[in-house]
Amino acid sequence: MLSNCSQDDSSLIETVAEYNPAQHPGIQLAFRTHVKNFYDEANLRDENPDNIIGQTIESLKMIFDVDLDEQYCGYAYGFDNPFSDPFVVISTRPECWGERNEAERELLVFHELGHAILTRYHDNSQLPSGHKKSIMVSDNTLFTIYADNETDKRNYYLDELFDPNTPEPEW
Ligand SMILES: [Zn+2]
């Protein structure tokens, strides 16, 4: 139902609202594909009950910030305040975005959405193997957590993002 179903196929029942990033002008263009992927990954894992993530994305504002404090590449404001809308900024510094590849950009966006949408806090704990447990790490090791071709690792870290009780991986 998230793929390109034919419109003629009225027998298919939509159980998950289609998320169209173009309808969310508060999310700057550069981030929309990653936000949509976040939404799709949540649905793949059945971690979007009552479309709660879609509803939160409705009120999400996500923009570049030229002035963000240099200790951060991204920042999620007030995510633990239930009365404020989710608001994420991403630094325009090259080492935060322009010089980063797609996997690194995804890690940054997903980390910030972990705060803003999933209300997760930082977690710097390690797996027995020495790998980080979560992409909710508080430092720039974030960018090394998985690479474009590391599908198994990405799957684990996205499982863990949506469910911190995910069993430890084999590796
Ligand atoms: Zn963070």
134 C-alpha to ligand 1 centroid (Å): 11
| 3-state helix vs strand vs coil in the chain, percent to 5 | 35, 10, 55
Which of 109, 93, 87 has the alpha carbon at shortest distance from 30?
Answer: 109
Beta pairing, strands 61-65 & 74-77: unpaired
43 C-alpha to ligand 1 centroid (Å): 23
pTM: predicted TM-score of the whole model, two decimal places: 0.88
Strand order across the beta sheet in which 87-91 lies: 61-65, 87-91, 74-77
- Provide the phi-psi class of 130: left if phi over 0, else alpha when psi is between -120 and 50, else beta: left
Residue 20: its pLDDT value, please?
Answer: 72
**Domain around 98:** 26-120
> Tokens 């027995």 belong to which residue?
128
Q: Is residue 157 part of a domain?
A: no
145 C-alpha to ligand 1 centroid (Å): 14
143 C-alpha to ligand 1 centroid (Å): 12
Q: Is residue 142 part of a domain?
A: no
Residue 83: its pLDDT value, please?
Answer: 86
7 C-alpha to ligand 1 centroid (Å): 40
Q: What angle do CA 79, 80, 81 make, to 5 degrees?
A: 90
Write the pLDDT tens digit of every residue in 104-125: 999 999 999 999 999 999 999 9
- Give the lowest-confidence range in 2-16, 29-43, 89-103: 2-16
The total number of structural domains that make up the chain: 1
Q: Is residue 128 part of a domain?
A: no
Cα separation, 113 vs 94, in Å, equals 21
Q: Is residue 115 part of a domain?
A: yes
Please tell me which residue, 162 or 5, carries the higher pLDDT value. Answer: 162
Mean pLDDT, the chain, as a whole number? 90
Q: Is residue 76 part of a domain?
A: yes
Say yes or no to pLDDT of 70 above 70: yes
Hey, what amino acid is at 124? N
Dihedral of alpha carbons 96, 98, 101, 105, sign? positive
Question: Residue 51 is part of a domain; what is its CATH number?
Answer: 3.30.2010
19 C-alpha to ligand 1 centroid (Å): 25
Q: Is residue 96 part of a domain?
A: yes
